[in-house]
Amino acid sequence: GAGVSQSPSNKVTEKGKDVELRCDPISGHTALYWYRQSLGQGLEFLIYFQGNSAPDKSGLPSDRFSAERTGGSVSTLTIQRTQQEDSAVYLCASSGTGGETQYFGPGTRLLVL
């Protein structure tokens, strides 16, 4: 079946602009995660959605970052007023339920000029 998909695959934007990153999880997966990975670094947890529960936003680095998950499926990560330090690969993952194996999408490579 189809894996996790993300769009766009690459995004170049100017400092101060807003960007939206999209994640389409594996069908039927109730858990969805967003991570950020800077060059040569590990995965930084951003936010976690589980079913209809309130999301765990504890990893969001600032109030410029927000995420939604509509209808328990597709998720959008929004970064407002982007800064150069936001440049990274943003990875989305889904799992059947929380705590299980996570399946990662190909990521969105964001470059803020």
Partner 1 sequence: QKEVEQNSGPLSVPEGAIASLNCTYSDRGSQSFFWYRQYSGKSPELIMFIYSNGDKEDGRFTAQLNKASQYVSLLIRDSQPSDSATYLCAVDTGGFKTIFGAGTRLFVKA
Interface residues toward partner 1, by CB under 8 A:
31, 33, 35, 41-43, 45, 48, 50, 56, 58, 91, 97-107
Tell me the closest approach of the beta carbon of residue 28 to partner 1, in angstroms: 17
- First-to-final CA distance of the chain: 37
Tell me the closest approach of the beta carbon of residue 108 to partner 1, in angstroms: 11
Q: Which is nearer to partner 1, 28 or 42 (CB)?
A: 42
Q: Which is nearer to partner 1, 58 or 70 (CB)?
A: 58
Q: Which residues of 55-84 are buried (b: 16+ CB within 10 A; e: fewer)?
A: beeeebeeeebebebeeebebebebeebee
* Beta strands per DSSP E along 8-74: 10-13, 19-24, 31-37, 44-50, 65-69
Tell me the closest approach of the beta carbon of residue 51 to partner 1, in angstroms: 10
Q: Which is nearer to partner 1, 9 or 15 (CB)?
A: 9
